[in-house]
């Protein structure tokens, strides 16, 4: 089945879990073991493992995802303006690599629509921690990025448990230029003016140099951010098992999944060496098993996220990881 169509089927099935009452039954088996409870960003997480941004762009299935065992769900990326994203096809599986290439382009219904969904989600009991990931609208020039992010924050911050400034998708032209600290600071200031006490993080690219990763970590601390998410997808294509012709046919876009793991953990270690021990780092990229998650935690991650593994491992992926993590914790 076409990957985007398959995602649509899965999305609607998860949305039905709480509506049909199935989710409450499922959650009895998927609820994380209390030994996994984690404190970060001033929040209580039932598990250190959560779902990265990209799966629920419309903030419509937060409760269902929580019932599948994710300790937190990061929705988005959401933009101030509604946008359709890039032309289809725009999502491609590299099965031999347990990887995906996407050039979705922040397709979403916009911040105003998402705010209504988030308002409802916040009222629900037994919900996961909700992260809200915001990005630049495609039609907005880079010079006007701060105002665009400000509008998203104005509409969404009050419904977020934590808020993320996404500057690292390779699928919005010019977005990664915001890794330049002089360009990034006005965006942070604009978002913070609306975020208030909501924890504020920035999501960075794996394609930065080692030195840039260190500088970004130090900057995040000095600018008063509450954390860094490392990393987004990569534009690199080295070391893949998938035939080169198949990779070339997929075309441009961000690569996620197992091939990203090595660089993701490298950036995690660079950041951890550049920030205080209690500074929050959320590690994401190439995580598929409980052992992978524990390896990130041992390397200094505060929390860990996954996404591509969900596509390959199926609906009880989070439960499997939580169960494995609990075994690891209890064996120590």
**pLDDT tens digits along 168-193:** 999 899 999 999 999 999 999 999 99
- Mean pLDDT within 145-162: 98
Distances (CA, A) of 321 to 36, 90, 138, 294, 308: 11, 29, 35, 10, 14
> What's the predicted TM-score (pTM) here?
0.96
Q: What is the pLDDT of residue 24?
A: 86
Catalytic residue positions?
169
Reply yes or no: is the peptide bond before residue 169 cis, omega within 30 of 0: no
For the segment 8-48, what is each residue's pLDDT rounded down to a tens digit?
999 999 999 998 888 888 988 899 999 999 999 999 999 99
CATH of the domain at 285: 3.20.20.70
pLDDT in tens, 247-265: 999 999 999 999 999 999 9
As a whole number of angstroms, the distance between CA 91 and CA 4 comes to 6
Residue 257 is assigned to a ligand binding site: yes
CB 78 within 8 A of CB 29: no
How far, in Å, CA of 1 to CA of 8, rounded? Answer: 11
> Which ranges of 77-197 does DSSP label H, i.e. alpha helix?
111-123, 145-156, 181-195
Domain containing 117 equals: 3-331
Model pLDDT for residues 68-94, shown as the tens digit of each residue: 999 999 999 999 999 999 999 999 999
pLDDT score for 186: 97
State the total domains in the chain.
1
Determine if residue 171 is labeled as part of a ligand binding site: yes
Residues 295-325 pLDDT 10s: 999 999 999 999 999 999 999 999 999 999 9
Alpha-carbon 2 to chain mean position: 23
Is 53 among the annotated ligand-binding positions?
yes
The DSSP line for 163-226 is: EEEE---TTSTTGGGGGSHHHHHHHHHHHHHHHTTS-EEEEE-TTS-HHHHHHHHHHHHHTT-S
Q: Give 262-277 pLDDT, tens digit per residue.
A: 999 999 999 999 999 9
**Is position 308 annotated in a ligand binding site?**
yes
- 227 has binding-site annotation: no
Give me the chain's average pLDDT, please. 96
Q: Is 57 annotated as a binding residue?
A: yes
Tell me which residue has tokens 């609820």. 31
């Amino acid at each position: 089945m076409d990957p985007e169509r398959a995602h649509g089927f899965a999305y609607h099935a998860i949305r039905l879990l709480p509506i049909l009452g199935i989710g409450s039954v499922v959650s009895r088996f998927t609820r994380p073991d209390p030994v996994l409870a984690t404190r970060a960003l001033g929040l209580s997480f039932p598990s250190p493992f959560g779902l990265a941004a990209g799966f629920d762009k419309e903030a419509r299935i937060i409760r269902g995802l929580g019932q599948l065992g994710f300790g937190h769900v990061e929705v988005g990326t959401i933009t101030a303006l509604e946008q359709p994203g890039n032309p289809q096809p725009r999502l491609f599986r590299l099965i031999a690599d347990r990887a995906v290439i996407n050039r979705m382009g922040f397709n979403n219904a916009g911040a105003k629509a998402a705010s209504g969904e988030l308002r409802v989600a916040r009222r629900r009991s037994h919900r996961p921690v909700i992260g809200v990931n915001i990005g630049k609208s495609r039609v907005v020039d880079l010079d006007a990025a701060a105002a665009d992010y400000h509008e998203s924050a104005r509409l969404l911050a009050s419904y977020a448990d934590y808020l993320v400034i996404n500057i690292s998708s390779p699928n919005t032209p010019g977005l990664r230029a915001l890794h330049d600290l002089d360009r990034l600071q006005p965006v942070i200031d604009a978002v913070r003016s609306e975020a208030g006490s909501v924890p504020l993080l920035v999501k960075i690219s794996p394609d930065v140099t080692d030195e840039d990763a260190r500088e970004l970590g130090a900057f995040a601390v000095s600018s008063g951010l509450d954390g860094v998410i490392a990393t987004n997808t990569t534009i690199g294509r080295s070391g893949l098992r998938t035939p080169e012709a198949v990779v070339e046919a997929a075309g441009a876009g961000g690569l996620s999944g197992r091939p990203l793991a090595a660089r993701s953990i490298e950036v995690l270690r660079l950041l951890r060496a550049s920030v205080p021990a209690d500074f929050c780092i959320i590690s994401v990229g190439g995580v598929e098993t409980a052992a992978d998650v524990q390896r990130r935690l041992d390397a200094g991650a505060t929390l860990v996220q996954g996404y591509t593994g969900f596509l390959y491992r199926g609906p009880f992926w989070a439960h499997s990881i939580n169960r494995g993590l609990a075994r690891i914790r209890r064996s120590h």
